[in-house]
């Protein structure tokens, strides 16, 4: 299925957002003769959803993680019950979109709770299946200094495994008059140039979503700041922007 979306006739018409692999916490070690197939499916995935964690012990969950650690590097794993995972993690939808929040993102705000759209979350007695704010957190980064797209791509590839998604509007030294869009899901990193800034002030806005307690704002800020354009590129960017204004 994954290779179908990479076909030359399909990739220009359909954008593959992400590949998810759902693992049954109680059955992952069942049917050992199918283990090779299971490993291949995990290897293709951008993110793993470990489902039915409420039906197994913590020791069994740690055993599954140890099994994955022995076979894969920097994989993203989300624990879930009843398959309940916010759409903002599964798909590039909803309020997890900097273009909708342009000009209103909290500046370099530390980790804060993840808002939940589930109607069932309106009750004061949230159970595990619906209390997304306890399982996920978000963090945002802003700067008016242009970034290098190649350096940003490398930064995105090296994000901690506790980061599930990142998305942003980027002010770059590579194409300073045009908005670039960053989309990260699991191991997949996509950077594309979009329309011109027009009358809007160029500014980078990035939103990150990850495991609650797994987002270190200081480390992330340092990583994104290192993606800043070198001095020579900054001078060229300033000249281009003056000519465009």
Q: What is the pLDDT of residues 201-244, one digit of tens each?
A: 999 999 999 888 889 999 999 999 999 987 655 556 665 655 66
Burial code (b: 16+ CB inside 10 Å, e: under 16) for 100-132 equals: eeeeebeeeeebeebebeeeeeeeeebeeebbb
Q: In this structure, are 72 and 101 located in the same domain? A: no
Number of independent structural domains in the chain: 2
Q: Structural domain of residue 52, as residue ranges? A: 2-79
Q: Tell me if 111 is assigned to some domain.
A: yes
Does residue 110 share a domain with residue 222? yes
Q: What is the pLDDT of residue 101?
A: 44
Q: Identify whether residues 231 and 142 lie together within a single domain.
A: yes
d(CA 241, CA 224): 22
Question: Does 85 map to a domain?
Answer: no
Burial 48-76 (b: 16+ CB within 10 A, else e): bbbbbbeebeeeeeeebeeebeeebeebb
73 and 193 share one domain: no
- The pLDDT value recorded for residue 126 is 38
Q: What pTM did the predictor assign?
A: 0.67
* pLDDT band per the 50, 70, 90 thresholds, residue 133: low
Q: In this structure, is residue 231 part of a structural domain? A: yes
Please count the CA atoms within 13 angstroms of the CA of 29 that sit on its side-chain side. Answer: 10
| Per-chain mean pLDDT for the chain | 79
Domain presence at residue 84: no
pLDDT at 91 over 80: no
């Amino acid at each position: 299925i994954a290779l179908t979306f990479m076909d030359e006739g399909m990739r220009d018409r359909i954008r593959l957002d992400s590949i998810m692999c759902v693992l049954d916490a109680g059955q992952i070690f069942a049917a050992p003769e199918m283990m090779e197939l299971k490993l291949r499916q995990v290897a293709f995935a951008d993110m793993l959803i470990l489902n039915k964690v409420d039906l197994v012990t913590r020791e069994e969950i740690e055993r599954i993680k140890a099994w994955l650690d022995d076979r894969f590097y920097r994989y993203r794993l989300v624990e879930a019950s009843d398959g309940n995972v916010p759409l903002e993690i599964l798909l590039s939808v909803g309020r997890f979109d900097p273009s909708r929040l342009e000009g209103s993102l909290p500046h370099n705000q530390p980790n804060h709770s993840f808002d939940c759209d589930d109607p069932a979350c309106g009750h004061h007695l949230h159970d595990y299946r619906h209390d997304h704010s306890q399982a996920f957190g978000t963090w945002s980064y802003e700067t008016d200094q242009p970034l290098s797209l190649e350096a940003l791509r490398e930064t995105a590839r090296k994000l901690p495994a506790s980061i599930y998604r990142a998305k942003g509007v980027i002010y770059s030294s590579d194409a300073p008059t045009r908005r670039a869009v960053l989309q990260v899901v699991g191991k997949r990193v996509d950077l594309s140039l979009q329309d011109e800034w027009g009358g809007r002030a160029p500014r980078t806005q990035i939103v990150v979503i990850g495991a609650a307690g797994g987002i270190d704002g200081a480390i992330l800020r340092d990583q994104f700041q290192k993606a800043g354009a070198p001095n020579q590129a900054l001078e060229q960017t300033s000249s281009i922007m003056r000519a465009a204004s």
